[in-house]
Amino acid sequence: MFAHTLPLVHAATGDASGDDGLVGHGDFRYRVNKEWAQVNPFRIHLDNCHEMVQDSKGRLVMVGDDPRNNIIVFDKSGKILNSWGTYWPGGHGLTLVNEGGNDVLFVSESGWARSLDDGVTMVRQNGYVAKMTIDGRMIFTISHPMTVGAYTPEMLFQPTETAVARNGDIYIADGYGSDFILRYDQNGKFIQKFGGRDNKDKNYNLANAHGVAFDNRDSANPRLIVTSRGQKAFKYFSLDGKWLKTVPLANLQICRPVIHGEHVYAGVCWSHSFSEVKVEKPWLYQSGFTMVMDKDDRVVSCPGGEQPVYENGVLQRVQQDEAKTFYHGHDVCIDEDENVYVCQWNGERTAPVKLERV
């Protein structure tokens, strides 16, 4: 007699996404409000809505890549309070830090911009990071790492994200360039780099290092979470660049990690492999949503996607929900009421979507 053992299957509790007009799973379920943002298209211009943060006054600050108004400031009701910024045709990353009671922004210019000739073709160039006051005054910039001897001139520098540690050290994710994490002090002086693509220890390799976040959930052991989107994984590093662990995420091509409470949230830009779809530009195929991961690195909810399932401790493939709630989840911002604001890349110029926690 032979015993037949089924694989251990664990899924987040709760109904499947969309069954009752809600999205998400388990304790993370939401009502979708696509009309939250009150945007007059004749006054405010949207292309890709890339990232959003909440400032100390409760305002929601978004960065996009339309250089007529890169920064758009919303109140909690979705009303636009202000817009500014004409510097960043590839405006991509947005990090907020409070310094001595004052909010400052770190903006990542990715270097990808629409051609001035036809307004459609994407042109690749080097980017930079700008430290800004909350009302749009430039404090300083960090330019190509060749200026400090960290890169050679032919290496691409197209930063996608920044993170700032408690001591003020700035970590730049060169996610569209050479895939290094570059560390600077609070004044912009270069300290070190790690990551890249050609390490003897492959754990250090990064592929599309799209995001980086300062993880202070264990205050005695702060660390970094780095997105390696091409590997469909988050990688944890010490603050001085030592690899700690890798969290594989099945088919989820995630964007930056956003830490709120004990959980990590992220936009999922794609859930398909480019070889799976027979279209001319598979990166434009819409298969995105969002995800929530607990302190044990388990995905517990995928708003806009299917219910996450684990077999023998391994996350299985998660697909977009049938309703196609989102196009390409690019970033999330969580407010004090646990609502989630979703920014989208290639979202047909749509404004951020509000997910109202239920």
The CA-atom distances, in angstroms, between 201 and each of 173, 237, 280 are 19, 14, 36
Instruction: Record the pTM.
Output: 0.94
Per-residue model confidence (pLDDT) at position 241: 99
- Give the angle subtended at the CA of 263 by the CAs of 260 and 269, to the nearest 5°: 90
Residues forming beta bridges with residue 84, ordered by sequence position? 71
| Spans of all domains in the chain | 1-33+251-358
Per-residue model confidence (pLDDT) at position 4: 34
Percentage with pLDDT > 70 across the chain: 94
d(CA 168, CA 315): 35
d(CA 49, CA 93): 10
Average the pLDDT over 321-328 and give the result: 97
The CA-atom distances, in angstroms, between 357 and each of 23, 107, 236, 336 are 10, 28, 28, 11
The tokens describing 341, both together, are 């604001």
Percentage with pLDDT > 90 across the chain: 91
pLDDT digits (tens, 9 = 90+) for 18-50: 457 899 999 999 999 999 999 998 899 999 999
pLDDT digits (tens, 9 = 90+) for 283-316: 999 999 999 999 999 999 999 999 999 999 999 9
Per-residue model confidence (pLDDT) at position 19: 54
10 has a pLDDT exceeding 90 = no
The tokens describing 54, both together, are 């909440």
By the 8 A CB rule, do 14 and 20 touch? no
**What strands, in cross-sheet order, belong to the sheet with 233-237?**
212-215, 223-228, 233-237, 243-248
Average the pLDDT over 88-99 and give the result: 97
d(CA 114, CA 116): 6
Per-residue model confidence (pLDDT) at position 106: 99
